[in-house]
Amino acid sequence: MTSDEKWFTEKCDDSGSSFSLKVTQKLHEEQSAYQHIEVYATEHFGHLLVLDGYIMLTALDNFIYHEMMTHPVLFTHPDPRRVLIIGGGDCGCLHEVLKHPGVTQADQVDIDERVTRVAEEYFPELCVSNDDARAALHFVDGIKWVEDAAPGYYDVIIIDSTDPIGQAARLFSQEFYASCRRALGENGLLVAQSESPLLHRELIEAMQDRMVSAGFAEVTTCYFPQPTYPSGWWTATMACNDRALPGFRAQDAVDRGFTTRYYNEQIHRAAFAIPEFMNVSLDLPVD
């Protein structure tokens, strides 16, 4: 945070850009066993969570990311019941997953328990489902969790990871995707956050290639705005275990019976439209 005017600034060196939020005070700071955790009060974006100097979420705009990491994949799987979330210690994805009444089990696996405890204090709106009987919080290595999972156990795996830096880089590897594929059942779907299409196109293409090389039958990417992430434009990449992607359950999305702030049936369809500059030939089938 700059000291003169109380701005928190995240610098994105690879793109020669930065993003700043005006803060009113620092609410929390600690060094966990795994990362440096900070929480700020901002002037317009509500509370801000920062890990190792990188913006993870704000109270104002996190709903876009959390809804787009969960509802598109859950409304694409024909009957999602067992869901695994790798990462996601802020619990925002867990909350969205558990809005689906058909989900019977949601395992959230994040190695750093302190992120969840900090979120419970400063982002309680994201943690309201933590005590749901279907939810289980596990503070262990997500890669080992997937490796140890029973073959075909999960219907959906959501990779809500940080940027591919340090230990998190392992969550973007072909070997990890192969472990995820083994842990997914028939019609199983994997979705992983895949960074900015403007700044990280090569990473998105590499993720798609690695998923295909790991044995996934079809891969596609969806696009959505995320104002507080580099470039303001973000993606999630989805892969189907053993056959072409199932059709989007559009009517179920229309009749979803729960509240969303960004996601709806039209957003779902639009999010999988491929920008011309992306050299990608795969798209999401729609009914």
Residue 23's nearest CA partner among 6, 9, 11, 3 is 6
pLDDT, one tens digit per residue, over 104-116 is 999 999 999 999 9
| Averaged pLDDT, 144-173 | 91
Q: What are phi and psi of 155, to 5 degrees?
A: -90, -40
Residue intervals in the chain for CATH 2.30.140.10: 7-58
Tabulate helix, strand, coil % of the chain (nearest 5).
30, 30, 40
Tell me, which fold does domain 62-271 have in CATH? Rossmann fold (3.40.50)
Residue-averaged pLDDT of the chain? 93
* Residue 286 confidence (pLDDT): 41
Looking only at the bridges linking them, the beta strands covering 36-42 and 135-138 are: unpaired
| Averaged pLDDT, 32-37 | 96
| Averaged pLDDT, 22-45 | 97
Residue 284 has pLDDT above 70, yes or no: no
| Known catalytic membership, residue 255 | no
- Pseudo-torsion of CA 244, 205, 281, 65, nearest 10°? 70
Look up residue 276 and give its DSSP letter. T
Percentage above 90 pLDDT, the chain = 87
pLDDT, one tens digit per residue, over 177-211 is 999 999 999 999 999 999 999 999 999 999 999 99
Residue 47's nearest CA partner among 36, 58, 56 is 58
Integer-rounded Cα Rg, in Å, for the chain is 18
Q: How far apart are CA 16 and CA 3, in angstroms?
A: 22
Q: Identify the CATH class of 7-58.
A: mainly beta
Look up residue 121 and give its DSSP letter. H
- pTM value is 0.94
The tokens describing 65, both together, are 């990311």
* Residue 107 confidence (pLDDT): 98
Residue of 14, 90, 160, 255 marked active site: 160
Instruction: Return the sign of the alpha-carbon dihedral for residues 58, 60, 66, 69.
Output: negative
124 pLDDT tier (thresholds 50, 70, 90) = very high
Q: How far apart are CA 89 and CA 127, in angstroms?
A: 10
282 pLDDT tier (thresholds 50, 70, 90) = very low
287 pLDDT tier (thresholds 50, 70, 90) = very low
Residue 2 has pLDDT above 60, yes or no: no
* Residue 3 confidence (pLDDT): 54
Residue intervals in the chain for CATH 3.40.50.150: 62-271
245 pLDDT tier (thresholds 50, 70, 90) = confident
